[in-house]
Structure 1
Amino acid sequence: MSSEPRLERRPVSRAAFDALPREVRAEYVDGVALMSPTASHAHQYAELRVARLLGDALPTLRVGIEMGIDLGTSLRVADVAAYAVTESDEGDDHDEVWGRVPPVLVVEVLSPTTRTEDLVRKPREYLRGGIPHYWVLDREAPSLTAFAAGEGQWEVALELDADRSTGAVELAGHGRVEVDLLALV
Structure 2
Amino acid sequence: MDDTPHAETERGTEPITRWPVPPAEGWTADDLDRIPGLPSHTELIDGALVFRSPQTRFHAYAARLLDHALLNQAPDQLDVDRDMTVRLDKKNRPEPDIVVFHTRAGTGPDQTWYGPEDVVLAVEVVSPDSRERDREVKPRKYAQAGVPHFWRVEQDENKGFPVVHVYELDPATTTYALSGIFHDRLKLTVPFDIEIDLTAIDRRPGPLT
Q: Structure 2-normalised TM-score?
A: 0.71
Q: Structure 1 residues 25, 85: CA separation in 2 closer, same or farther (over 3 Å shift)? A: closer
Q: How does 1:1-185 map to 2 (within 5 A)?
A: 12=22, 13-14=26-27, 17=32, 18-21=34-37, 23-60=39-76, 61-72=78-89, 73-86=91-104, 89=106, 92-100=107-115, 101-141=117-157, 142-150=162-170, 151-152=172-173, 153-161=175-183, 165-172=184-191, 175-184=192-201
| Deviation readout 1:123-168 (Å, 9 max, x if unpaired) | 110001111000011124441111111132212222113xxx2241
> Judging changes above 3 Å, is the alpha-carbon distance between structure 1 residues 99 and 32 closer, same or farther for their aligned structure 2 residues?
same
Mapped contact 1:27–1:35 kept (Cα < 8 A): yes
Higher strand fraction: Structure 1 or Structure 2?
1
Between 13-22 and 23-32, report the one with greater CA deviation: 13-22
Residues 168/121 of structure 1: CA separation in 2 closer, same or farther (3 Å cut): same
Residues 35-84 of structure 1: CA distance to partner in whole angstroms, max 9, x if unpaired? 12232233122111101110111133210111111000301000000111
Q: 1:29 to 1:167 in 2, by over 3 A?
A: closer
1:76 is paired with a residue whose SS is coil
Identity %: 22
Conserved 8 A contact 2:67-2:80: yes
Point out where structure 2 has 5 or more consecutive residues left out of the alignment.
Answer: 1-19, 203-209
Unpaired segments of 5 or more residues in structure 1?
1-9
**What TM-score comes out, normalization by structure 1 length?**
0.79
- SS of residue in 2 equivalent to 1:135: strand
Choose 53-62 or 34-43, whichever is displaced more: 34-43
Opposite residue 78 of structure 1, the aligned amino acid is P
- State the alpha-carbon separation in 1 of the partners of residues 109 and 144 from structure 2: 24
How far residue 85 of structure 1 moved from its aligned partner, in angstroms, is: 1.7
Structure 2 distance, partners of 1:36, 1:184, is 22
- SS at the partner of 1:42? helix
String of CA shifts for 1:65-123, please: whole Å, max 9, x gaps.
Answer: 1111100030100000011123x75xx53422122244100111111011110001001
Residue type of the alignment partner of 2:188: V
Give the Cα separation in 2 of the matches to 1:25 and 1:83. 19
- Deviation, 1:24, is 3.3
Q: Name the CA distance, whole Å, in 2 between partners of 1:122 and 1:103.
A: 14
- Taking only aligned residues, the RMSD between alpha carbons, in angstroms, comes to 2.3
Q: Secondary structure at the match of 2:128?
A: coil
AA aligned opposite 1:120: E
